[in-house]
Chains A and B, each alone.
Chain A
Amino acid sequence: SQQGEEDPQALSIQEGENATMNCSYKTSINNLQWYRQNSGRGLVHLILIRSNEREKHSGRLRVTLDTSKKSSSLLITASRAADTASYFCATEAYYGNNRLAFGKGNQVVVIP
């Protein structure tokens, strides 16, 4: 299965701390994307990183990609209560079957 898997699956941190979550996948990819989902809402795109990129930043978010280890990490710096959400990684396989395979999600709770 190409489906990404996030780790840890649940994370509880204090406001101001950094939150790191990882995603592993199984086959070669074109790109990997991270999404956030607040309770009862749709997913919101955070960052897309292509297979030839190693790191991308967006505001307080930093994503790394290690294609040799088939893994990615999402770092949220100086977390805020509003960062409380589920975070999903999604991969597009290199040998595309027109699927964006989503992981099961990582629940992050930021305690004020």
Chain B
Amino acid sequence: NAGVTQTPKFQVLKTGQSMTLQCAQDMNHNSMYWYRQDPGMGLRLIYYSASEGTTDKGEVPNGYNVSRLNKREFSLRLESAAPSQTSVYFCASSFDATGGYNSPLHFGNGTRLTVT
């Protein structure tokens, strides 16, 4: 099993460019999440999805959009990238059907994004 797969692994953008980060899981999980990790800040939740067709804002949603394409895939879009969005982005999934945290999260290996 691949678990949670994120693409791309690395990306450099110029300010104002757009891009979509892709995430797919093969564990038949219900909930999926997008986090960003910054030095000294821990992980912060951007958006989550408790089921196909539903998405909700997390702690730091501004500047991002998401799509839960189907049960397996959850994408994160930066419409107009800013240097403040330079970060490592992690997708995660869990069996929990409420978008909550009663089940462990399974993480991908991250996308390292630099915005110049």
User: Residues of A at under 8 Å CB distance from B?
Assistant: 3, 30-31, 33, 35, 40-45, 48, 88, 90, 92, 96, 98-100, 102-105
A99 with B42: in contact, given A33-B104, A41-B109, A45-B105 (CB under 8 Å)? Answer: no
A43 touches B105 (CB 8 A): yes
Contacts of A96 in B (CB 8 A): 100
B34 CB within 8 Å of chain A: no
A102 touches B43 (CB 8 A): yes
Contacts of B108 in A (CB 8 A): 42
A44 touches B107 (CB 8 A): yes
A102 touches B42 (CB 8 A): yes
B41 touches A104 (CB 8 A): yes
Contacts of A42 in B (CB 8 A): 4, 90, 92, 107-110
Nearest CB of chain A from residue B106's CB, rounded to whole Å: 7
CA–CA, A48 and B101, complex, Å: 10
Contacts of A31 in B (CB 8 A): 101-102
A104 touches B42 (CB 8 A): yes
B105 touches A100 (CB 8 A): yes
Q: Give the size category of B's interface with A.
A: 20 to 34
Interface residues of B: mostly helix, strand, loop or mixed?
loop
CA–CA, A99 and B44, complex, Å: 9
Contacts of A98 in B (CB 8 A): 48, 56, 58, 99-100
CA–CA, A73 and B106, complex, Å: 22
CA–CA, A26 and B102, complex, Å: 19
B53 CB within 8 Å of chain A: no
B78 CB within 8 Å of chain A: no
Q: What does the 1/0 interface line of B50-67 toward A look like (CB < 8 Å)? A: 000000101100000000
B13 CB within 8 Å of chain A: no
Contacts of A104 in B (CB 8 A): 40-42
CA–CA, A103 and B100, complex, Å: 18
A45 touches B104 (CB 8 A): yes
A100 with B42: in contact, given A30-B102, A42-B107, A45-B106 (CB under 8 Å)? Answer: no
Smallest CB-CB A-B distances: 8 pairs: A42-B107, A45-B104, A92-B101, A102-B42, A102-B43, A100-B101, A43-B107, A104-B42
